[in-house]
Homo-oligomer: A and B are copies of this chain.
Amino acid sequence: MSSIADKAVREEVRLSELDIEAIEMFINFFKVIGLPKSVGEIYGLLFVATRPLSMEDLMERLQISLGAASQGLKLLRSVGAVKVVYAPGERRDHYVADLELSKFATSFIRDELKPRLERALQRVERMESLAEEMDPKERKVAFQRIDRLKHWMERGQKMMPWILKFLVT
């Protein structure tokens, strides 16, 4: 009798001030790594919630749509930031925040930064071979710059495992 689909108007459930602070914090934090507001809202609320919340709980409290809730949870699950927990006697899934924040950084580095750097290094190699064909004077300048690029990419690659170690410890 309280399914999501047939509920015409969603009932207003007030968020506490603490909830709001946490939510705003995570919205801002997630924005840095390019994630949409709704994802920050969901994680923020789950972070301060003292019990697992269902998708409908999230929709009610955050006043977001079914689709946004579903997709946000999917993304958060995929990066290990949210876990599904079994709620006895309840049919719907319930979700909790994984408090191990280092997981964000880890998956951000693994899924975003690392592949980008690898593609960039390939590009630099291609640039080197293109620069071979330039006339001597220009080639010198070109190589100088390409080398500098290469240097920075390698430096970035070296730095990532270190950051990971720092975060995981």
A159 interface residue per 8 A CB criterion: yes
| A148 with B50: CB separation less than 8 A | no
> With A130-B18, A130-B21 known to touch, is A28 a contact of B145 (CB < 8 Å)?
no
A95 interface residue per 8 A CB criterion: no
| B18 with A145: CB separation less than 8 A | no
Interface string of A121-135 (1 = CB under 8 A from B): 001101100110010
Q: How far is the CB of A31 from chain B (nearest CB, A)?
A: 9
| B145 with A99: CB separation less than 8 A | yes
Query: Among the listed stretches A4-12, A65-73, A85-93, A112-120, which one makes contact with chain B, having 4 or more residues with CB under 8 Å of it?
Result: A112-120
> With A48-B142, A127-B21, A166-B159 known to touch, is A32 a contact of B152 (CB < 8 Å)?
no
| Nearest-neighbor residue (CB-CB) of A119 within chain B | B28
A positions within 8 Å CB-CB of B? 16-18, 21-22, 24-25, 28-29, 32, 34, 47-48, 50, 99, 101-102, 112-113, 116, 119-120, 123-124, 126-127, 130-131, 134, 138, 141-142, 145, 148-149, 152, 155, 159, 163, 166-167
Interface pairs A-B: 5 shortest CB-CB: A18-B130, A25-B123, A21-B127, A101-B152, A50-B141
